[in-house]
Chains A and B, each alone.
Chain A
Amino acid sequence: MTAVTLSDRNSGRRGDSFLSVQNLHVSFQTEDGVVKAVDGLSFEVEKGTTLGIVGESGSGKSVTNLAILGLHNPDHTEIDGEVWFEDQELIGASRTALENLRGNRIAMIFQDPLTSLSPYHTVGRQISEVYRKHKGASRQEARGRAIEMLERVGIPNAKTRVDDYPHHFSGGMRQRVMIAMALVCDPALLIADEPTTALDVTVQAQVLDLLKDLQQQTGTSIILITHDLGVIARTAHNVLVMYAGRAAERGTVRDILRSPRHPYTWGLLSSVPRLGSSVDVPLTAIRGTPPSLLDPPPGCPFHPRCDYVEQAKPELCLHERPDLSPETGHGDACYLTLKHKQEIFAQIKERP
């Protein structure tokens, strides 16, 4: 499952991954200036796998994925870079081309299923209209398909519930409806933007298991955006750690959780409570606050919060932007040497 891909810098496209994002820049015009929400991000998603994108709020996770689908506000958003999906360049694609992709080949589910579903339409209608739009199905066929999808996501009495409105469902059931709606056209890629954040912990697990099951049945690739490393551990194959609109670390879920190399990833892992550890031991938080993207720090964007600048190369950390290295496989954007990283992480693991 390692993201071993061939580099072909000239075309900007890599290997056989069917979604490839290359050097993506997204910036917003605001009254205070230009916000660089995504600043030179590259990643790939392979068929049938789940890529977990993890990072703090404002690290550019959601913006990246809205940009892939062209769902940003074109009036004050500037996008640069390449997004290849199934041999199609999505940046700069026509409106109709994007409309034909959305909900059809690439689907999306959002954080809060209550506000993300229309309160004015029955769930059946909201599901079937996607199917009708993209597959040209008749009203009857689409309704049948909607019932089938509701059954597949585990909604009891789908035949009668198809005519209910979202407010008739509980939070977890609503998210199942969202998933049914997203998967109705058998998309090749599902972008799930914090799909479990608004749900109860027990329901979270159910929804994640459902996504996993559906992925096994349909072979859909998933981009799972989250700030919850527990979710990552449970569902992702590959992980991209984002910080300040850039990639901090990339690797398989094993790489990231077992042998993380970036100080930011260490920070994220140390701030997760562990079952079995004493409740008296305080969690280690990452000191400081995320940088303002209006005026990001020069050099490594993480350096103002990093404890290891002195052990790396201060002149580089403070002045030179690090890129992911190596370019494929388990890579991280940090100037510490690999040996240093292994030693430091071993020490961190020793801490109670």
Chain B
Amino acid sequence: MLRFLTRRTLGAAVILLIIAAVTFFLFFAVPADPARLACGKVCPPETLAQARHNLGMDQPIFVQFVTWLGGIFVGRDYEGLGHCPAPCLGYSFVNHAPVFATIVDRMPVTISLTIGSAIIFLVFGVGTGIIAALNQGKPLDKIASVSSLIGASVQIYFVGTLAMYFLVYQWQVIERPQYVPFTDDPLQWAYGLLLPWIVLAIIFTANYTRMTRSTMVEQMSEDYVRTARAKGMSSRAVILRFALRGTITPIVTIFGIDVASLIGGAIITETTFSLQGIGRLSIQAVLNSDLPMLMATVLLAAAAIVVFNVIVDALYAVIDPRVRLS
């Protein structure tokens, strides 16, 4: 297990390095100039040149990449701006703040959004899927199938906007979503995020229902499930201990990917509900050509995927004894 983790962590580091390099060079190929942003609205050529020098943009691109990379581990100095302590992901001239500090500031919103909706879609998605599978072909199954088809085809901005309009403004059933740190007031935290959680969970729930149902139906006809019944196990034990067991693996797989991509930022949900999370941050970075910020959010999203992949692989070994980690 330890060897597996060491190997996978090293592999993940290499992958992240490659992603960072590709993003870095791609972004420097686009016709946006961070120096111009740093320089301000009225920008005489000599000030621009000074800004370029301060940002290190007069250096060859490869040197710039190495400087940027080094900043993550040891920090770096920006002439005229001062020191950016490690881990330094660069300096955003749009926000006039180090990128890392902004990320740290926005992270709790995105993580809260992810955790809440992940719990909802996991519980409801898997639960409905099991119920549908056990009532295969019966009305309950058909209701679940139809509603998950609808759920899978609606769009977050559509449902989210409708929910905001009716539930919040028209009927005033719930207050306007807002982020209250969990540590300040857990109840307010949950209440403030309830609506975004549910809206975000709808589309995921549908996918989990469909997948759980199909895997479960498959599992129920497995030979070893028949053996369990032939042993006299109660139908409850057969379902919980045997059929469900084989359903967990595919669920864990896509759950890991979904959570990872949510941590990378739920752009549409955060925009719909005006939550200041990573998703908002990255879309603003794109709109403002805030390259250092964009680099950081892309890297964060990639890191989330890579890390969760390692976690999922390690979990396989726990779930399925046939999987050996070496």
A residues with a Cβ closer than 8 A to B are 69, 71, 75, 95, 99-104, 107-108, 110, 112, 115-121, 129-130, 133-134, 165, 167, 178, 181
Q: A103 contacts B226, CB within 8 Å? A: no
Of residues 210 through 250 on chain B, the ones whose CB sits less than 8 Å from some CB of chain A are: 222-224, 226-235, 241-242, 245-246
Closest B residue to A120 by beta carbon equals: B245
B80: A residues at CB distance < 8 A: none
Report the Cα distance A281→B112, complex, angstroms. Answer: 78
Q: A99 contacts B224, CB within 8 Å? A: no
What interface size band does chain B fall in?
A: 20 to 34
Q: Mark B28-47, 1 if CB is under 8 A from A, else 0.
A: 00000000000000000000
A119: B residues at CB distance < 8 A: 224, 320-322
Kindly list the 4 A-B residue pairs having the minimum CB-CB distance in the complex, ordered from nearest.
A103-B232, A102-B232, A103-B231, A115-B223
Report the Cα distance A270→B323, complex, angstroms. Answer: 47
Name 9 extra pairs, CB < 8 A, besides A119-B321, A121-B241. A71-B229, A102-B232, A103-B232, A110-B226, A116-B226, A119-B322, A120-B320, A165-B321, A178-B227
Report the Cα distance A71→B229, complex, angstroms. Answer: 7
Of residues 129 through 163 on chain B, the ones whose CB sits less than 8 Å from some CB of chain A are: 137
Q: A120 contacts B229, CB within 8 Å? A: no
A-B contact pairs, 30 of them (CB 8 A): A71-B226, A75-B137, A99-B233, A101-B232, A103-B233, A104-B232, A107-B231, A108-B227, A108-B230, A115-B222, A115-B223, A115-B224, A116-B223, A116-B224, A116-B226, A116-B227, A117-B227, A118-B224, A118-B227, A118-B242, A120-B242, A120-B246, A120-B319, A120-B320, A120-B321, A129-B231, A134-B232, A165-B321, A165-B322, A167-B321
Closest A residue to B249 by beta carbon equals: A120
Q: B224 contacts A117, CB within 8 Å? A: yes
B229: A residues at CB distance < 8 A: 71, 102
Report the Cα distance A102→B222, complex, angstroms. Answer: 18
Closest A residue to B233 by beta carbon equals: A133
A71: B residues at CB distance < 8 A: 226, 229-230
A133: B residues at CB distance < 8 A: 231-233
Q: B233 contacts A167, CB within 8 Å? A: no
B320: A residues at CB distance < 8 A: 119-120
Report the Cα distance A257→B185, complex, angstroms. Answer: 83
Which of A99, A112, A167, A181 contacts B234 (CB under 8 A)? A99
Closest A residue to B220 by beta carbon equals: A73
B233: A residues at CB distance < 8 A: 99, 103, 129, 133
Closest A residue to B246 by beta carbon equals: A120
B222: A residues at CB distance < 8 A: 115
| Count of A-B contacts judged by CB separation below 8 Å | 68
A69: B residues at CB distance < 8 A: 230
B231: A residues at CB distance < 8 A: 102-103, 107, 129-130, 133, 181
Report the Cα distance A75→B217, complex, angstroms. Answer: 14
**Of residues A95, A102, A120, which shows the largest number of chain B Cβ atoms within 10 Å of its Cβ?**
A120
Main SS at interface, chain B: helix
Report the Cα distance A120→B228, complex, angstroms. Answer: 12
Q: A110 contacts B227, CB within 8 Å? A: yes
A178: B residues at CB distance < 8 A: 227
**Of residues B229, B234, B235, which shows the largest number of chain A Cβ atoms within 10 Å of its Cβ?**
B229
Of residues 240 through 290 on chain B, the ones whose CB sits less than 8 Å from some CB of chain A are: 241-242, 245-246
B232: A residues at CB distance < 8 A: 99-104, 130, 133-134
Report the Cα distance A279→B126, complex, angstroms. Answer: 59
Q: Mark B196-208, 1 if CB is under 8 A from A, else 0.
A: 0000000000000
Q: Mark B154-190, 1 if CB is under 8 A from A, else 0.
A: 0000000000000000000000000000000000000
Closest A residue to B227 by beta carbon equals: A116
Which of A101, A110, A181 contacts B223 (CB under 8 A)? A110
A104: B residues at CB distance < 8 A: 232
Q: How far is the CB of B268 from the nearest CB of chain A, in Å? A: 38
Q: How far is the CB of B152 from the nearest CB of chain A, in Å? A: 27
Closest B residue to A191 by beta carbon equals: B230
Closest B residue to A178 by beta carbon equals: B227
Closest A residue to B248 by beta carbon equals: A120
Report the Cα distance A118→B321, complex, angstroms. Answer: 11
Q: How far is the CB of B22 from the nearest CB of chain A, in Å? A: 40
Report the Cα distance A2→B223, complex, angstroms. Answer: 35
Report the Cα distance A121→B231, complex, angstroms. Answer: 15
**Of residues A71, A107, A117, A118, which shows the largest number of chain B Cβ atoms within 10 Å of its Cβ?**
A118
Closest A residue to B231 by beta carbon equals: A103
**Of residues B231, B242, B322, which shows the largest number of chain A Cβ atoms within 10 Å of its Cβ?**
B231
Given A102-B229, A118-B228, residue A167 in contact with residue B322 (CB < 8 A) = yes
Closest B residue to A100 by beta carbon equals: B232
Q: How far is the CB of B292 from the nearest CB of chain A, in Å? A: 48
Report the Cα distance A181→B231, complex, angstroms. Answer: 8
Closest B residue to A165 by beta carbon equals: B321
B246: A residues at CB distance < 8 A: 120
B137: A residues at CB distance < 8 A: 75
A165: B residues at CB distance < 8 A: 321-322
Report the Cα distance A69→B231, complex, angstroms. Answer: 10
Closest A residue to B221 by beta carbon equals: A73
Q: How far is the CB of A193 from the nearest CB of chain B, in Å? A: 10
Report the Cα distance A178→B230, complex, angstroms. Answer: 12
Closest B residue to A167 by beta carbon equals: B322
Q: How far is the CB of A127 from the nearest CB of chain B, in Å? A: 9
Q: How far is the CB of A79 from the nearest CB of chain B, in Å? A: 16
A134: B residues at CB distance < 8 A: 232
Closest A residue to B224 by beta carbon equals: A118
A116: B residues at CB distance < 8 A: 223-224, 226-227
Q: A103 contacts B322, CB within 8 Å? A: no
Closest B residue to A117 by beta carbon equals: B224
B242: A residues at CB distance < 8 A: 118, 120
Report the Cα distance A107→B245, complex, angstroms. Answer: 24
Q: How far is the CB of B247 from the nearest CB of chain A, in Å? A: 11
Q: B321 contacts A103, CB within 8 Å? A: no
B245: A residues at CB distance < 8 A: 118, 120
